[in-house]
Amino acid sequence: MSNIKYILGSFGDPDEMMHGIDKLQENNIKIHDVYTPMPIHGIEAKLGIKRSRLDVLAFFCGLTGTASAFALIYLTSVVDWRHNIGGKPALALPDFIPIMFELTVLFCAFSLVGAYYASTHLFPGRAPRVMDLRATDDRFIIAIDAKENAEHSVIDGLLKDAGALEVKYNERKYVSYE
Amino acid sequence: MSGHKESILREPLITGQNITYSKITSDILLPVENKPNRAWWIGFIIALCGAMLWVFAVSYTFWFGIGSWGLNKTVGWAWDITGFVWWVGIGHAGTLISAVLLLFRQNWRNSINRSAEAMTIFAVICAATYVVSHMGRPWLAYWVLPLPNQFGSLWVNFNSPLVWDMFAISTYFSVSLLFWYTGLLPDIATIRDRATGLRRRIYSIFSFGWSGNVKTWQRFEAVSLILAGISTPLVLSVHTIVSMDFATSVIPGWHTTIFPPYFVAGAIFSGFAMVLTLLLVARKVLGLENYITMFHIESMNKIIILTGSIVGVAYLTEFFIAWYSGSEYEQYAFINRSTGPYWWAYWMMMTCNVISPQLLWFKKIRTNIAATWILSIVVNIGMWFERFVIIVTSLHRDYIPSSWAMFYPTWVDVSVFIGSIGLFFTLFLLFLRVLPSIAIAEVKLLLKSASEQAKLEQIKEGHLDKEQVAEYIGSLDKFDSVKQEEYAKI
């Protein structure tokens, strides 16, 4: 038994999986992570995942975009190289607004997605850390660290009671990659 | 959350019985995981010929210059900008479906957003190539960027809508690409975990190591929502700025404040028409009738009636204001549009955009696939003529009658346009082969609440209001993918 690293409860139904999480937590069994083929609402509260702060970051990066656009236009067409266009004012704020808006969106979107990829470790070519290959297809997987939780038979029973179709004992953490 | 029951009064978004999560995956990945069928090859070869025609015609333009187009000193913009605005407009539906409908929690977007967003990206590529090729010296295209004076030109003129447009289109393209690709990650991971060998390696690189754990999904939803929130004003701003390319000039017929809302409505109108043109064929050829249902088709047709009518009101308002303004130049521009040498283009636009979409008020027509498909193409023809009318008829009669001219396209103009359609379809057909055409994860979300089988189960449980059940069953009549016999018993 000592070679087992992770115990996986494989569910075919998201509601049964949620029930499984409740059951495990009632018995003080710590859940390593849950892998699902689609977003399941309410699961993050159960697993104590904190609220994302990406929105705050996006807001401030958006403001940086606004300021950068204004700085660019101001420094080029007001300070550095003033054009006389029919005697109209060089600091024509209404004309600056479209670009200020576009750069707000651009900075906001790129920093948001960049921060998301960085915080969840997504980047091209990263080795996928998959515990069960069906977790991206039709199975909802609860992963439990086998070393931290010694009573495997209890876990097995709880998972099966909650409706797990299958309980797997993985000797390797990630099955996906050789 | 996923266990809640949706009201029986809402029509199902997934039809068919015995649909499971794994069946959704297999159905959607069918074209990706198997060799293409004959229909795909025929379409692809035709599209590829078009794309090659595009390469040839654009190279010819680059080599011999803009003189190879039919432009003259009076009509300086014609098919090029018509094509540009047409393509950008088509692109708008993708963002509308993915962003605006997400904000409004319209779940029916889930099965059409992916291909609509792909369409956006390919349409903007087609539009951007027009911009580059109409510059005359495309190798100096980077001059539109704000570069320091040492590069040989002055700073760009930030008061010019053309510069705004450069910022708008490039922001729009890159943000749409981010939005689309981030949404694709879970689905690429699905393909990866089902594939073997080289395919797995390739999809593995592009999946960015997606594992589908709780935190990634939770952040994914937060990111999607924020991107939708910023893409909504973005898409409105893009076509507003495109319209300002015209509206801020002092050409009679262009110089109107109604242009921004009118262009945006027109863009959504033509974009949804293109989505229908593509998806009505794709759902049949790829066998996706259970996911892109008659409800989706009807909903899109309703948006087409709405936006088409807004466009119609805009045409009439424009005409009224031209008269009401008392400006004889403005009045002449409009009289000339409808009765001058380009009267046929004007009436083509009026018929295709204002009159024929009104047929969609009839339920029989908007739930008929053949009729819808034909109307969607009619709308796209009409929207092309709209841009042609706005651009060419406003320009071709200059202030001095001695500089009045007509515009006649050359074979290069025609080839660039037909070629751009070929390029668009080539990209779209390749997309259907290598990436899932429906957002798999998002459709799975609907299975337990909004599918036909879930609703049938609710009916069988029998605690529902009889009248509501009858109404629901009545609404299923129009669906071509529902087996009506199932309901005859109830």
Q: Render pLDDT for B7-44 as a digit per residue (tens, 0 to 9).
A: 888 888 888 888 888 889 988 998 888 888 888 899 99
Say whether both A143 and A90 belong to one domain. Answer: no
pLDDT of residue B306: 93
- Dihedral of alpha carbons B245, B246, B247, B251, sign: positive
State the DSSP code for A11: E
Note the pLDDT tens digit of each residue in B161-212: 999 999 999 999 999 999 999 999 999 999 998 888 898 889 989 999 898 8
Structure tokens at A4: 């087992």
- The nearest CA of chain B is from the CA of A127 a distance in Å of 5
The partner residue sitting opposite B234, judged by closest CB among A54, A105, A176, is A105
With an 8 Å Cβ cutoff, is A113 touching chain B?
yes
Say whether both A113 and A76 belong to one domain. Answer: yes
With an 8 Å Cβ cutoff, is B216 touching chain A?
yes
Q: Which residues of A10-20 are buried (b: 16+ CB within 10 A; e: fewer)?
A: bbbbbbbbbbb
- Asked whether residue A177 is assigned to any structural domain, the reply reads no
pTM of the model: 0.91
Asked if pLDDT for residue B475 goes beyond 60, the answer is yes
With an 8 Å Cβ cutoff, is B37 touching chain A?
no
Residues B436 and B190: beta-carbon distance below 8 Å = yes
- Asked whether residue A155 is assigned to any structural domain, the reply reads yes
Asked if pLDDT for residue B3 goes beyond 80, the answer is no
Strands A6-11 and A33-35: unpaired
Asked if pLDDT for residue B425 goes beyond 60, the answer is yes
φ/ψ of A124, rounded to 5, equals -60, 130
Asked if pLDDT for residue B152 goes beyond 70, the answer is no
Contact A14 B448 (CB under 8 A): yes
Contact A124 B206 (CB under 8 A): yes
Partners of A47 on chain B (C-beta within 8 Å) are: 214
State the DSSP code for B213: B
Chain A to chain B Cβ contacts (< 8 Å): 198
The partner residue sitting opposite A126, judged by closest CB among B193, B208, B440, is B208
Q: How far from the centroid of its chain's Cα atoms is residue B6's Cα?
A: 30
With an 8 Å Cβ cutoff, is B194 touching chain A?
yes
Domains: count for chain A: 2
Q: Cβ contacts of residue B42 below 8 Å, gap of 6+?
A: none
Partners of A76 on chain B (C-beta within 8 Å) are: 146, 155, 158
Question: What's the CA gap between A120 and B489, in Å, rounded?
Answer: 51
Range of A143's domain? 6-50+126-170
Say whether both A17 and A44 belong to one domain. Answer: yes
Contact A58 B226 (CB under 8 A): yes
Question: What's the CA gap between B330 and B324, in Å, rounded?
Answer: 10
Question: What's the CA gap between B393 and B342, in Å, rounded?
Answer: 7
pLDDT of residue B196: 86
Say whether both A80 and A24 belong to one domain. Answer: no
Contact B209 A42 (CB under 8 A): no
Residues B144 and B166: beta-carbon distance below 8 Å = yes
Contact B157 A44 (CB under 8 A): no
pLDDT of residue B222: 92
Q: How far is CA B146 from CA B130, B222, B292, in A?
A: 21, 33, 44
Q: How far is CA B482 from CA A80, B3, B28, B30, B476, in A?
A: 67, 23, 18, 21, 7
pLDDT of residue B36: 87
Residues B365 and B356: beta-carbon distance below 8 Å = no
Say whether both A131 and A115 belong to one domain. Answer: no
Contact B222 A106 (CB under 8 A): no
Contact A137 B155 (CB under 8 A): no
Average pLDDT of span B60-75: 90
Instruction: Give Rg (Cα) of chain B.
Output: 24
- Asked whether residue A178 is assigned to any structural domain, the reply reads no
Say whether both A98 and A150 belong to one domain. Answer: no
Asked if pLDDT for residue B58 goes beyond 70, the answer is yes
Q: Which residue has the tokens 């494989």?
A: A10
pLDDT of residue B94: 84
Note the pLDDT tens digit of each residue in B300-359: 999 999 999 999 999 999 999 999 989 899 999 999 999 999 999 999 999 999 999 999
- Asked whether residue A1 is assigned to any structural domain, the reply reads no
- The nearest CA of chain B is from the CA of A174 a distance in Å of 10
A39: domain CATH number is 3.30.70
End-to-end CA distance of chain B: 29
User: What average pLDDT is seen over chain B?
Assistant: 89
Say whether both A35 and A58 belong to one domain. Answer: no
Q: Name the B residues in 141-160 with CB < 8 Å from any A CB.
A: 146, 149, 154-155, 157-159
pLDDT of residue B121: 93
| pLDDT tens across the length of chain A (178 residues) | 568 888 888 888 888 888 888 888 888 888 888 999 989 888 888 888 888 899 999 999 999 999 999 999 999 888 888 878 888 888 889 999 999 999 999 999 999 999 999 999 999 988 888 888 888 888 898 888 888 877 788 888 888 888 888 888 887 777 765 5
Note the pLDDT tens digit of each residue in B95-136: 888 888 888 888 888 889 898 999 999 999 999 888 888 888
pLDDT of residue A105: 95
- The nearest CA of chain B is from the CA of A57 a distance in Å of 11
Say whether both A80 and A166 belong to one domain. Answer: no
Quote the percentage of chain B above a pLDDT of 70: 98
Residue B1 — pLDDT band, cuts 50, 70, 90?
A: very low
- The nearest CA of chain A is from the CA of B146 a distance in Å of 9
Q: Which residue has the tokens 């490039």?
A: B170
Q: Vertex B12, ends B33 and B189: CA angle to 5°?
A: 30
With an 8 Å Cβ cutoff, is B205 touching chain A?
yes
Say whether both A14 and A30 belong to one domain. Answer: yes
Contact A128 B207 (CB under 8 A): yes
Q: Vertex B401, ends B400 and B406: CA angle to 5°?
A: 115
Say whether both A113 and A59 belong to one domain. Answer: yes
Say whether both A165 and A78 belong to one domain. Answer: no
Q: Cβ contacts of residue B66 below 8 Å, gap of 6+?
A: B134, B136
- Asked whether residue A175 is assigned to any structural domain, the reply reads no
- Asked whether residue A35 is assigned to any structural domain, the reply reads yes
Say whether both A60 and A115 belong to one domain. Answer: yes
Burial class (CB in 10 A: 0-12, 13-18, 19+), B38: exposed
Lowest-confidence segment of A113-117, A172-176, B258-262, B371-375 by average pLDDT: A172-176
- The nearest CA of chain A is from the CA of B52 a distance in Å of 31
